[in-house]
Amino acid sequence: MIIMKVCLNSIYVILLLLIMPTITVGQCNNVDDYTALRDLYLSTNGDGWKNRSGWPNRATFLINPTPNTFTNMENWYGIECANSRVQTLNLSSNGLKGALNNTLNSLNFVREIDLSKNALQGEIISNFLNLKNLQKLDLSQNLYSGSVPFGFSNILSLRVLRLSNNKFDGGFPSDFKLMTKLIELNLANNVLSDSLNHIFGNMKNLSSLYLQNNKFYGELPPSIGNLTNLEFLDVSNNELIGEIPH
């Protein structure tokens, strides 16, 4: 009788374990990250992406404003997580269209964002100002236009900024000279028009600087010689004159 009671209790425990929701240790389902990625999907025609493997569709997102027990963003295409938070967002060449609409500001632990080779346009900087851990931002080969926005210097961890192959015009934002931690800056293939004076002399960590195919004018400033870590420099096809500084 005692043996039968023990067996019944064991069966009861097993049944409970089977019907209880499974929560995986380290599961990537943070509410802030989910909200950011949900908004990204809904604002860039996610159902039309080339690859949306693992992502919920639009209808599912609309009825689920927050993650459920089974949500694991680690299984979504282009997402890498660590310590249950999104670390990398890479949706390059994936058919994203439209504007980001401040969708990404709650990805508080993201380190790399690559949205290159899509059809994004509209506001940029307001999407990234809160991302204090962001080290790499690649928005190249999209449809962005107008002036390069002020505010990138507020992303204190930023090391790589790629804005090439868009339709940016005008000059440098005044805070560019404050971005002293950058190691790569790529503004190639836009319609930028400005002097290079007083911009790059403080960027002493730069190893790669790509400014080709724009309308930069004047002389290369002597301060470019302060870039002692520079390995790659391309200023071809601009309106620069004069001699190369010593």
Provide the pLDDT confidence category of residue 237 given band limits of 50, 70 and 90: very high
CA separation, residue 126 to residues 34, 65, 130 (Å): 19, 22, 8
Taking the C-alpha atoms of residue 186 and residue 62, their distance in angstroms, rounded to an integer, is 37
pLDDT at site 177: 86
Contacts of 147 (CB under 8 A, 6+ apart): 168, 169, 170, 171, 173
The rounded percent of the chain whose pLDDT value lies above 90 is 73
Contact 66, 34 (CB under 8 A): yes
Domains identified in the chain and CATH numbers: 49-241 (3.80.10.10)
Contact 29, 54 (CB under 8 A): no
pLDDT at site 75: 97
Query: Three-state DSSP class for 177?
Result: helix
Min mean pLDDT across 68-72, 112-116, 196-200 is at: 196-200
Mean of per-residue pLDDT scores for the chain: 89
Contacts of 210 (CB under 8 A, 6+ apart): 164, 185, 186, 187, 188, 232, 234
pLDDT at site 244: 84
pLDDT digits (tens, 9 = 90+) for 191-219: 999 999 878 888 899 999 999 999 999 99
Please tell me the total number of residues recorded for the chain in this structure. 246
Give the residue among 59, 174, 45, 183 at the shortest CA–CA distance from 119.
Answer: 45
| Cα-based torsion angle of the residue sequence 58, 59, 62, 63 in order, rounded to the nearest 10 degrees | -150
pLDDT at 2 over 50: no
pLDDT digits (tens, 9 = 90+) for 120-148: 999 898 889 889 999 999 999 999 999 99
Give the residue among 89, 173, 94, 204 at the shortest CA–CA distance from 135.
Answer: 89
pLDDT digits (tens, 9 = 90+) for 4-37: 443 444 444 343 333 334 444 579 999 999 999 9
